[in-house]
Structure 1
Amino acid sequence: MTEPDKAAAPAEGEPAAAARSSGLRNPEAAVRGLGAGTMAMEAVVLLLAIAPLSVIAEERKGAAIIAVAVAVVVAIVLAGSMKRSWAWPAGAVLQVLLLAGGLLHWALAAIGVIFGLAWAYNYHVRRSILG
């Protein structure tokens, strides 16, 4: 067996999952931090979207601003709840709801697309780290 093969193969009596170790000291905390950071960033972007929406949104201005305010609160709650099992699917639901918010204003759909892609990448990273 060559040197790279020895590093990839688990030692005798060691579980196979140890061979796929991410190298992180606490992978669960790292993944939680990634999800919480993404939700916090989304909350900030949504807060910053209120001012332009109040200027460019025409007939549905009030509904769009209320939808953004609710999404900000949900994103903040989700950022603090990444330890819970329901938080990751709820984050995906938030992205879908923002896409549906595109019916109120196209900017909400744009934010939904951007953070939907970021959330999909988070799921990929989570699966690759935690297995």
Structure 2
Amino acid sequence: MSGQQPRPSGLRNPEGAVRGLGAATLGLEALVLLIGIQPIRALGTELSGATMGLLVAVAVAAVVLAGMMRRPWAWHAGTALQGVLLLGGLLHWSLLALGVIFALVWAYALHVRRQILGPTAG
């Protein structure tokens, strides 16, 4: 025990906790995107095939990335996924709204990751 550095977060497994946060964030995003299809249609706006395809593709990518949070590049891919959703706002305004919300949530998850794992958490 004398050779180990103290854990500033107090967590037994800080890496696992951070991975869980990232996976939960992406899983929630996928769920909201898929469940959100019907309310968007209920607003009276018709979703194009491209918009529906983008919604499903981003949701599937979020689920896949949630399962790959052990890999350091998955955090960068999650950030890129938020950018894709924001760009989806060009297809439908609701994608922009969801993109802004989840980009803010993802930014907070990255902030927590940096606070727990330190500035070297890539």
| Interval containing the TM-score (normalised by the shorter chain) | 0.7 to 0.9
Q: Does 1:41 align with 2:28?
A: yes
Cα displacement (A) at 1:49: 1.6
Q: Is the 8 A contact 1:43 1:72 kept in 2?
A: yes
Corresponding residue of 1:84: 71
Unmatched 5+ stretches in structure 2: none
TM-score by length of 2: 0.87
Corresponding residue of 1:69: 56
Q: Is the 8 A contact 1:32 1:83 kept in 2?
A: yes
Identical-pair percentage: 57
Query: Of residues 19, 26, 39 in structure 2, which corresponds to 1:52?
Result: 39
Q: Quick check: which one's helix share is greater?
A: 1
Q: Secondary structure at the match of 1:68?
A: helix
Q: Distance in 1 between matches of 2:75 and 2:86?
A: 17
Query: Of residues 57, 68, 82 in structure 2, which corresponds to 1:95?
Result: 82
Cα displacement (A) at 1:14: 6.3
Q: What do you get for the CA RMSD once the two structures are aligned? A: 1.6
Q: Secondary structure at the match of 2:36?
A: helix
Cα displacement (A) at 1:89: 0.6
Structure 1 residue identity aligned to 2:96: A
Bigger CA radius of gyration: 1
Aligned residues: 116
Corresponding residue of 2:19: 32
Cα displacement (A) at 1:52: 3.0
Q: Distance in 1 between matches of 2:3 and 2:9?
A: 16
